[in-house]
Each structure stands twice: as structure tokens, then as C-alpha cells.
Structure 1
Amino acid sequence: MNRIWPLALICAGLPVAGFAHGIAGGDQAYLMANAGFRPFPFMYLGAKHMVTGYDHLLYLAGVIFFLHRLADVMKFVSLFALGHSITLLFGVLSGLHVNAFLIDAIIGLSICYKALENLGVIRWFDARLAVFGFGLVHGFGLSSKLQDLSLSDDGLIGNMVSFNIGVEVGQILALTILVAMFSWLRDLRSFGTVALNANVILFGAGLVLFGFQITGFFITWR
């Protein structure tokens, strides 16, 4: 039972970091000053954004929590990646702006939904459809942060494709750690109790993230 506490502490600390999640000041300055096609820096920034994106990682943790087969992990993660790739690229390249607070609030609810689904409380949608749909929402979360930086049109398409590739690389790195951790947890005799507590914590993390973001939406809404 004591082995759940490292996981609990990690999950409990994520909502605060998720609330502050964005593009760091130095990275913002680089993106805003950039002109021309710069694939490798944008790939790096995309990977960095994903591995520090606690909201995305919380959702992915919920998605793969009970997946035992690598093929199933790849299937669901690919659906999520397809969803957020579509809206990340479409949002930035089309100029479609979505309120960042509202999108991040929905991302918080997506974490809550997945936790409740894992707990067997609700299942409103087919699991594959839900993962793809929430992937679309998470992609708008990424694009909204990039749109606020007034990126140069010079090389924009190539840079956004590079950024998205970096996001996928970062996702793979994060998933490698998560899959290893969940494989270790499944070997515990008390895995049932661990799974229950972990998903309750996951629900609480999503709820706190939702509360922060929806409050920000109403405070800044005009």
C-alpha cells in the first residue's frame, strides 16, 4: 500500500502546474522573434511543451491506465495524437481563435471523464471516439497558446508541422515512462486498491484544473 504514495504525490501536484502550463517566457520570445523555416528548434519546443504539459499527461495517464497490450496503447494514443494534430495545425494556420481558459477548462473535464470511466461510474461514449474527440480539444489548447504569440507567416506551415512532430516525440517519451510505471503497479497485489485511489486522485486533479480555468474564463470574459 505504501507504494501508492509516490504516484499520489505526483498526481496531487499536477493541477497547480497544469494551471500555469503555457509556453515559457524565453521560448515565447524566440517564437515571436522567429522568421523563416526553423524545423529543429520548433521540434524541440513542441517536445518540451508536451513533456511539461501536465494537463495532457494526466489525460494520457488515464487513457492507458488499464491497457495491458502495447498494441492497445498505440491504438488509443494514435487516436489522441490524430485528434490534437488536426486542431493544432488547423487552429494556428486558419487563425481560428478559441478562448484558452475555456479550452483548458474542457481539458480538465476530459481528465475527470476519463477517471470516472476508469472507475466504472460513466461511459457515455465509445472509448475510441472519446479519446479522439478529447484529442481535438487538447489540440485547440495547444493552438490557442501559439496563436497568442502572433507568429510570423514566414515559414509558418513548416514550423507548425515541426512543432507538431516535436509534440509527438515528447508524447512518446512521456508514454515510455508512464507505461513502465503502470506495468510496475500492475504487479502489486494491491493493484485494485491502487487503481481505485489513483483514479480518484486523477478525478480530483482534473476537477481542480477545471475550477482554476473556468474561474479564469469568467474573470477575463468580456
Structure 2
Amino acid sequence: MTQLLSGSRVGLPCGKGRLALLLALTSLTLILTPDFALAHNVTEGDKGYIQEISGPNLIPFLYLGAKHMVTGYDHILFLAGVIFFLYRRRDIGIYVSLFAIGHSTTMLLGVMFDWKVNAYFIDMIIGLSVVYKALDNLGAFQRWFGFQPDTRAATLIFGFFHGLGLATKLLDYNIAPNGLLANLLAFNVGVEIGQLLALSAILIAMGYWRRTAGFWRHAYTANVVMMSLGFMLAGYQLAGLLLA
């Protein structure tokens, strides 16, 4: 289960000055990389391809789904937060499955039933999902409110929003109705394959990091950075919502 951080257990090894510098460099990186805030977007080349084809095209849509997941920074950030303190395979499997169920359900239903939801609003919630998970890892809810939210339910619910975020983008590209269900299922399988690839890379990196003496010293800083990235992503989308 997720272990909670407290000020007495995990400090800021780098000092306030170094942490501030780290966050400043992270902010600058995001400013210079606008695609980060558009993690759900489909590239122009893929957009043109989607609009031109008709009928079942399983392999291309499977590839597009895997590509989306591997390059979806918001998904990867949330997934990294979810498994940050999970050690047992059973727990990892449960949480990743809940996220996949939520993500798959709203992506498929959103496109099939043409759900019209403001993309900026959905992507803002997705950014806040990263903030939530970082705060959960930091033990903020117990310290602030005296209770621990149901982490499994939260993972499933935020999975719904992540899937709906993708559905809003796919709807913009007017996928041909001929073969729509088959193509969406292939796309979803691709998303899950991409998720497994991303998860494997995260677990390998986390496995090496956890065996070092510095893991607990730097865990607090890592989650603060994750929270900051989530706020930046949510703030970008909020600005778009207000200006749209």
C-alpha cells in the first residue's frame, strides 16, 4: 500500500535553495516544451491519417494507441505517482488495472456516444489528478484533514477522467463510422500495451532507486516536483478555459 511521507521521516536533503532551483529549472523546461501541456493531443500527421482512412484498420490504431500512452506525460506522471510506494506485484496490478478500467471505459463510451465535454476542463482535472497523487504520497490529507482518501476509488475515478480527456481529442478528428468500434478497441489495446511499456520502465527505474540509500531522502522532493508539474499542467488548461 501507499506509504505516507511525514516531515519527521523525510526531509529536504537538498535544502530549500536547491529545491527552489530544481523547481525553477523544471518550470523553465515546461515553458520551453509546450507539448507537455498538450499531452493528450494527437499529432497533425496522425490526425490527417485518422481523418482519411475508413473501415477497420486494427494495426494502425493499435500503434496510435501505444504511441499516445508512451508519449502521454500526464498519464505517465499519474502512473508514477500511483506506484511510487507500491512494492508488491499484487498491489501494483490492482491499481494499474483500476486505472486501465477507468481509462478504457470513458474513452470508448465517450467516442461511441459522442460525449461533448470541454477539453480544457477535462485536461485541467487530469493535471489536478497528478497533484492529488503527489499530495497523497506526501501524507498531506491525513495531516490537513485527519483522514486518508480511498486510494483505489481515487485511481479508478481519475482513470475515468484520463480516458474522457482522450475521447474529447478523438472526437475532434471525426473518425469514420465504418469500422469505428473495431478501431477504437484496437486503439485501446494499443493504449494498454503502451501503459505496460511505460510501467515497466518506471518499475525498473524505481527498483534501482529504491535500493539506494538516498531514496527516502529524495522521495519528498520527487513528490513536490510531481505536484508542481501537475499544478503547471492544470494552470495551463485553466488559462485556456478562461480565454476560450
TM bracket (short chain) = over 0.9
Structure with higher Rg: it is 2
CA distance in 2 between counterparts of 1:142 and 1:200 reads 26
* Unmatched 5+ stretches in structure 1: none
Q: 1:18·1:54 contact (CA, 8 Å) conserved in 2?
A: yes
2:93 matched residue in structure 1:
74
Superimposed CA distance per residue, residues 124-158 of structure 1 (whole angstroms, 9 cap, x where no aligned partner): 52010000000000000110110010111000000
1:129 matched residue in structure 2:
153
CA distance in 2 between counterparts of 1:145 and 1:131 reads 22
2:187 matched residue in structure 1:
163
Superimposed CA distance per residue, residues 154-178 of structure 1 (whole angstroms, 9 cap, x where no aligned partner): 0000000100000000000000000
CA distance in 1 between counterparts of 2:95 and 2:242 reads 33
Aligned length: 216
CA distance in 2 between counterparts of 1:44 and 1:65 reads 28
CA distance in 2 between counterparts of 1:104 and 1:11 reads 20
CA distance in 2 between counterparts of 1:166 and 1:45 reads 7
CA distance in 1 between counterparts of 2:119 and 2:148 reads 25
**1:19 is aligned to 2:43:** no
CA distance in 1 between counterparts of 2:90 and 2:26 reads 26
Superimposed CA distance per residue, residues 62-114 of structure 1 (whole angstroms, 9 cap, x where no aligned partner): 00000111221111000000001000000000001111111000000000000
Aligned partner (choices 107, 111, 123) of residue 88 of structure 1:
107
* Unmatched 5+ stretches in structure 2: 1-12, 142-146
CA distance in 1 between counterparts of 2:35 and 2:226 reads 14
Aligned partner (choices 145, 151, 176) of residue 152 of structure 1:
176
Distance 1:213 1:124, change over 3 A: farther
TM-score by length of 1: 0.92
Which runs of 4 or more aligned residues in structure 1 lie more than 2 Å from their structure 2 counterparts after TM superposition? 8-18
Aligned partner (choices 202, 207, 211) of residue 183 of structure 1:
207
Structure 2 counterpart of 1:19, which letter? A
2:239 matched residue in structure 1:
215
